[in-house]
Amino acid sequence: MRNQFFRLNNKIVNSFLGKPYSALMRWFLNAEHAFFNLKWKLSGGKLPSEDDVKLMRENVTFVFKSFERQKSAKRLYANIRRYYPDVKVIIADDSKTPLDLKGDNLEVIHLPFNSGLSFGLNKALERVTTPYVVRMDDDEVLTPFTNFHKHLRFLMQHEEIDLSAVSYVTTPRCRNHKVISKRYLAQSMDIAPKPLKIPHLTKIDDEHTVVGKPPNIFIARTDAVKSVGYDDNIRMLDHNEFFFRAAGNKVSVFSPDSFVFHIHDVTDKNYLNYRSDFRADQEYIKAKMTLILKNKENK
């Protein structure tokens, strides 16, 4: 059903109905976000306390990659500021028109056009000096139930854990984050070169469960992420490959009850023209993983 939706969506975007359809869809996405914000507020969602903000400010840097979506990047930056005022933010941007954004404790790294997600994340990570880092995408926003400060405290109390990931709710046609979470709990990464250091689905506490490949939205020890790093040859599809190499070397946990809101604009024709070109990534990753597994068998 979801694939049918996107096929139909792409046809409309590229037809004479593209512009009015895009305007209507963006109105709908904003309405969904407003609806959920009200729902979260009524269900008891609150902003972090002063102590939470202070803890994050002293220990964490937010990093994300921006490409051809200035409004999204500015929205996420403002959103981070709302939840964690004055926390360090680093944005790697490789848009054709450089991201025009200034703010306190903000660093924007301007990169050559279409350098790629992995290259940008590596450049951002090079500038991180705090012991912990949060990795997000530019079309996401924090919610009262993301609670990165709680996951920071968890990591501080559990030295054996390197990374704590959260779930997401995606527009349009939002699905319950717990339904989405089941996919990640089912992926053990048994195919990875090394077995997990802590077995898949081991419960560390009531909120955090060990998984091989969690969502790509996380807070982690900076040194752990830097030691795995991102492959500059991969322009977009960094997710599987990063956790494939991290498996057996770093320990990741997943908290299904924590989540961000993913404002997925499926009508941005300019962005989709670049975002849909991922065949080279797929072929490169397949060849790389095959070689890694072959070397493993020969040892």
- Whether 169 and 264 have beta carbons less than 8 Å apart is answered as no
Strands 60-66 and 106-110, sheet pairing: unpaired
The amino acid sitting at 48 is: P
Pick from 129, 128, 127, 117: which is nearest to 93 by CA? 117
| Average pLDDT value for the chain | 90
Residue pLDDT, tens place only, 112-171? 999 999 999 999 999 999 999 999 999 999 999 999 999 999 999 999 999 999 999 888
Q: What's the one-letter identity of residue 259? A: F
192-241 pLDDT per residue, tens: 888 899 999 999 999 999 999 999 999 999 999 999 999 999 988 899 89
* 282: β partners: none
| Structural domains in the chain plus CATH codes | 2-282 (3.90.550.10)
15: left (phi over 0), alpha (psi -120 to 50) or beta: beta
- Residue 243 reports pLDDT greater than 90: yes
Kindly report the number of other CB atoms within 10 A of residue 274's CB atom. Answer: 15
End-to-end alpha-carbon separation of the chain, Å?
A: 44
Q: Is the pLDDT of residue 16 over 90?
A: no
Strand partners, 90: 63, 107
Lowest mean pLDDT across 4-13, 36-45, 68-77, 205-214: 4-13
- What predicted TM-score, i.e. pTM, was given to this entire model? 0.91
Give me the long-range contacts of 271-279 (CB less than 8 A, separation at least 24).
Answer: 271/67, 271/68, 271/69, 272/10, 272/13, 274/67, 274/68, 274/114, 275/236, 278/235, 278/236, 278/237
